[in-house]
Amino acid sequence: MSELLKIRRQTQVERRAESEQRLLTAAAELIATEGFAAASLERVGAAAGYSRGLASQKFGSKDGLVTAVIAAVIARSAELLVARDSDSASPLDSIIAYADVILLQIERDPFIRAYWVMMASAIANRLPNQTQFLAEHEKVKARLSGLITQGQDRGEIDSSVDPDAAALSIGSTLLGIGIECLLDPALDIPRVRAAALATISRTLAASTKIQQKETRT
């Protein structure tokens, strides 16, 4: 393959990636600000600065758009977690880092706000794609539950905590804050974020700290 052909192919791949990112960003911003119903494929294409048919070509349908936005939210969260992750991080630190990343996204990122709007719409209208949201939440619950179990094995997290129930509680807390942010755009998210992280930490590690104090005395 000639170098010129390689360059052309690479350029085409880059252009496709750029157009998809612009379409996804336009979709997230439309959904976050105007609601799911407002984000027609035609409007998404126009908002991204492309022909109206390009969004249809990229996503196929509105369900395809939902799937793409969900995937983008997951990818963005994963990137932020990788940037913060450390091989020496304890299970409790990893749980706090995950919660913090989600709360920071709620504050700054239209993608996660679009995620909450789409999920609320799917539940309210009993749409088939609500199973996509359930599947992603189950993955998060399993990950958090696993981290809690690891922390208990290391003596870092209270052994009386039910890992599955605690994981669900943490996820529900984050979900509730996200929904509240949609209801009240003036919500003081940094203040709520600090309180939520402190509550999660105290709930999981409280008994361990008490035991450490008793050992010292």
What domains can you pick out in the chain, each with its CATH number? 1-60 (1.10.10), 62-216 (1.10.357.10)
Contacts from 100-105 at CB under 8 Å and sequence distance 24+? Answer: 100/193, 100/197, 101/77, 102/77, 102/174, 102/178, 103/174, 103/177, 103/189, 103/192, 103/193, 103/196, 103/197, 104/80, 104/193, 105/73, 105/76, 105/77, 105/80
Instruction: Output the furthest CA–CA distance in the chain (Å, rounded).
Output: 75
pLDDT tens track, the chain, 217 positions: 555 555 455 577 788 888 889 999 999 999 999 998 888 999 999 999 987 788 888 899 888 988 898 898 888 888 887 777 665 589 999 999 999 999 988 888 889 989 989 998 888 888 888 898 999 899 999 999 999 999 999 999 999 999 999 999 999 999 999 999 888 989 999 999 999 999 999 999 855 444 454 444 4
Taking the C-alpha atoms of residue 184 and residue 186, their distance in angstroms, rounded to an integer, is: 5
What count of other Cβ atoms lies within 10 Å of the Cβ of residue 70?
Answer: 20
